[in-house]
Amino acid sequence: MELKNITEAILKVSKEITAIEKSMSVGTGGSSYKAVSDSVVRNTLRPEMIKQGLVILPVSVEAKTQVDRWEEADAYKGGMKSKQSIFTEATTKYLLVHQESGESIELAGYGHGVDSQDKGAGKATTYALKNTLLDLFLITKGEDFDTDSTHSSDMPVLKKVSKTASYQAKNKADFEAGRDPLADNEEV
C-alpha cells in the first residue's frame, strides 16, 4: 500500500507548524504549571490540515475507570463530608484520511483524566487526541523539559560537613534545657 500523498500532506503540516507555546495555566499556587490547551492545538492545526486535505476520524475508545471514595472533615459545616475522585484512562484509535487520494493511516492515542464527577472521560479523550496530533506532526510543546540545559559536570559537588564535638555538645545542652537546638543555628 502506497502512502505517498498522505505522507506528503503530513510533512507539509509539520513544516508549517513546528511549535505551539504553552499559554494555559493549570492549577494554582506552587503546583501550577503551563500547558498547551486543546483549543489552541485544534485552532492551530485545523486550517493546515484542511489545506492539505487531511481529516481525522475517531474509530474507537477503550476506557477504564477507577473510583476512590473517602470521608473528609467539613471545615464549613463541621462533621464529615463524602468525597470522590474518578480516574479515567482512554486508549484511542483514529483514522487519518487524505481526502484526494483516499489513503489512510490508523493512529493510536492515550490519555487520562481525573475528576470528582463525570468529566474524567472527556478529559482523557481530549488529552489523547491532542497528544496524538502533536506527536503526529512532531510539534514542540513550549520548552523542552526532557533535556537539561546544564551538564552535570557543570554543577557544584556538595561536600559533607561533619559537625564538631562542641557543636554537638551545645545542641545536646540546649535540648536538655528545653530549648530548640536548631533555633539559632546556621544552616550547614
Specify whether the CB–CB gap between 128 and 111 falls below 8 A.
yes
The residue ranges of every structural domain in the chain are: 4-141
Specify whether the CB–CB gap between 103 and 97 falls below 8 A.
yes
Q: What confidence tens digit (pLDDT) does each residue in 23-43 have? A: 888 888 888 888 889 999 999
- What per-residue confidence (pLDDT) applies to 64? 97
Domain 4-141 falls under CATH 3.40.50: no
DSSP line for 33-80: EEE--HHHHHHHHHHHHHHTTEEEEEEEEEEEEEEEEEEEE-TTT-SE
Q: What confidence tens digit (pLDDT) does each residue in 1-13 have? A: 789 999 999 999 9
Q: What confidence tens digit (pLDDT) does each residue in 141-156 have? A: 875 554 455 545 555 5
